[in-house]
Structure 1
C-alpha cells in the first residue's frame, strides 16, 4: 500500500510539471495583460526566499492540515490553478473537506444534503445551491464545487450571511475575535480597509468594518473543522483572507492550542504589476510575518484604477 501511495505521489508530481509547462506559454493564459512580465508563471517560496518548481510546491502541500488557496476573484487563471491544486490534493486521498468563501451560512443546510441529490449538471448544482451568480461567476467556481463533489468530500460554506454581517456591524467586538490580532496587525487591517474603500469611508465606520472583516475570517477558520487522522482541509477564498499576518491562519491557531504553524500553508495567486519584478514587493509586509507561504504569479485581467473610476 505504501509503495502504491509513493508511486502515485511521483506520478502526480510529474503531472504538476507538465501543467506548469503548458501555462508558462503566454498563449495558454486566459488573462493577457502583462503576459510577458518576467514573474508570470513563476512560484515564489517566501519561507526560503527563492523561486521553486511546481513539483516543490506540490510536495510542500502534501502533508499540511490546512491548505488555503487565494485568488483575485475575477481572474480566470487563478481559478484554473486553484482547480489544479484542488484536484492534486483530492487525488492524494487526504482531503476531508473544502470550504468556500463564496457560500454563506444560509447555504450550509443545502450543502449538508448535497450528497443525496441527483444533480447531473453544473447548471443543476448551481440552481440547487442557490448560488449568488451576481456576486460569484459560476463558470469559475462550478468546476471547483463539482470536483469536490466527485471526490465525495464535505463541502462547507465559509462566509457569514448578510444578516449576520449587519449584526456584527452594529454590535461590539465578539470575545472570540477580540484578542486574535495584535495592535500592529489591527492597525494594518484598518489601514487596508481604508485604502480598499479608496479613502471614501468615514473614519467613524472603520471599527465596524474591521469587525466584519474579522468575523468573516473567524467564520472561514471555523468552517475548517478540527483535524483528525491527518486529514486535510482546503479553503477557497480571496487572497486577503488567507494572509498569514492578518487573515484566517491567525484564527485557526487561536482556536486550536495544539496546532503548529507549519500545519497551515497559504498559497496566493497574484497578478503581476508592471512596476515591479521583485517578489518581496508583492508580500505587502508590515512586520516580521510574511503574508503568504507561496505566491504563484499570473498575468493581470485589467489595469483599471478602481479608485480613479469611483472618483469620476
Structure 2
C-alpha cells in the first residue's frame, strides 16, 4: 500500500534501437539490408522490456532529481530498513548515488577509505557502529549495499561528546519559530512516553535540533553533480517543518520520503513529498523499554 504526493513517472526505456542513415554508396546497402532486417525483426519479436520499478521505487523516482533524498523510518520497523536497502541498491545500480548518510553513526565516521570488498566487521569499525543501539542485522544490509557499490557511507549524528554542549546552547531555541518549537517539544514528550521531566524538555529539543543541523551539514557536504545523497534517519528528523530540512541553505534541492507504519500519525501537509505505508507494528507496549531500569535504546 502506498501513497505519493507526486505522481510516479515510469522508468525510461533503453530497449529501443536507433539506426543512423549513413549515406552508403549504391550497392553496399544491399549487402547490409539482410542482416539489418533480421536484427529489426528479431527486436520486434523479442523486445527488451525494462524492469518495472516497485511501487516504492516508483515513488522515489518521482522525487528525483534532487541533491538530497531524505528517507524517514520508524526505527523498530524492519520493513523500513528493507525499503532503505532497496533504495540504496537501486540508486547505486543506476550510478545515481553520491553517498549514504546514516543517523545511526556519528559524524566524522565514514567508509571512504574502504574498498568494495571490505568485510562487515571493517565497515562497522569504520563507522564506529553501536550494535546495541542499532541492530546490525537490520541496518547492515543498507550500509553494505552502498559499500559494495563503491559509494561512501558517512555518519550524520551528533557525537555523544557534543550532546551536553548542544543541550545548553540557547541559540537553538531561536532556530525554529514558536509553533514549530512547541511541536518539536510535544513530539519529545510523546516519544519518551511522558516520562521525561518537564525541565529536561528544552534541553532535549536543543539537542534534537543540533542533531538535525549536523545531519544536514554532512549530507550537504556529500553532494555531487547529477547524483543524489540519501539520508536515512528517524521519521521525526526528516520532516520539513521541524527537522533536517529547516537547516538547508538556498539552492539545495531536497525531497522527503517517509515510511509510515499503519496506525502511526499522519505527517502534516508539506512535511513530506511522499509517504509509503507499511504494515502495522506488532502489538505491544512501546513504552515498556523506557520504563525499565535500563532502556534498550537511549
Q: TM-score range by the shorter chain?
A: 0.7 to 0.9
Over residues 127-165 of structure 1, what are the superposed CA-to-partner deviations in whole Å (9 max), with x where a residue is unaligned?
A: 454321100111111111111112222221100111111
Q: 1: distance between equivalents of 2:146 and 2:267? A: 32
Match of 1:292 among 260, 267, 272: 272
Contact 1:16 1:58 in 2 (8 A): no
1:258 to 251, 255, 258: 251
Q: Mark the CA change 1:305 to 1:101 in structure 2 (over 3 Å): closer, same or farther.
A: same
Rounded to whole Å, the distance in 2 between the matches of 1:12 and 1:134 is: 44
After superposition, what is the alpha-carbon deviation per residue over 1:199-238, rounded to whole angstroms, capped at 9, x for unaligned?
Answer: 2222211110000000110011011125452321110111
Aligned match of 1:28: none
Do the aligned residues in 2 keep the contact of 1:13 with 1:59 (CA within 8 Å)?
Answer: no
Q: 2:144 aligns with which of 127, 143, 146?
A: 146
Contact 2:60 2:257 in 1 (8 A): no
Distance 1:105 1:125 in 2: 15
1:232 counterpart = 2:234: no
Provide the rounded CA distance (Å) in 2 between the counterparts of 1:89 and 1:12: 19
| Structure 1 segment 26-45 matched on structure 2, within 5 A | none
- Cα distance in 1 for partners of 2:150, 2:79 equals 25
Tell me the distance in 2 between the aligned counterparts of 1:14 and 1:165.
Answer: 46
Secondary structure of 2:271 counterpart: coil
- CA deviations 1:255-285 (Å, max 9, x no partner) are x2223xxx32111111112xxxxxxx83243
| 1:91 equivalent in alignment to 2:93 | yes
- 1:107 is aligned to 109
Match of 1:172 in 2: 169
| Cα root mean square deviation, aligned | 2.8
Q: Give the corresponding residue for 1:44.
A: none
Whichever of the two has the greater Rg, that structure is 2
- Of 236, 243, 246, the residue aligned with 1:247 is 243
Provide the rounded CA distance (Å) in 2 between the counterparts of 1:216 and 1:238.
11
> Residues 228, 96 of structure 1: CA spacing in aligned structure 2 closer, same or farther, 3 A cutoff?
closer
Unmatched segments (≥5 aa) in structure 2: 1-10, 17-47, 293-298
**Structure-1 separation of matches of 2:60 and 2:192:** 36
Pairing partner for 1:282 from 258, 261, 265:
265
- 1:125 paired with 2:123, answer yes
Q: Does the CA-based 8 Å contact 2:13-2:50 persist in structure 1?
A: no
- Count of paired positions: 250
- Between 1 and 2, higher relative CO (CA 8 Å, sep ≥ 6) is seen in 1
- CA 1:63 to 1:12, structure 2 compared with 1: closer, same or farther past 3 Å? farther
Name the CA distance, whole Å, in 2 between partners of 1:129 and 1:302: 30
State TM-score, norm by structure 1: 0.71
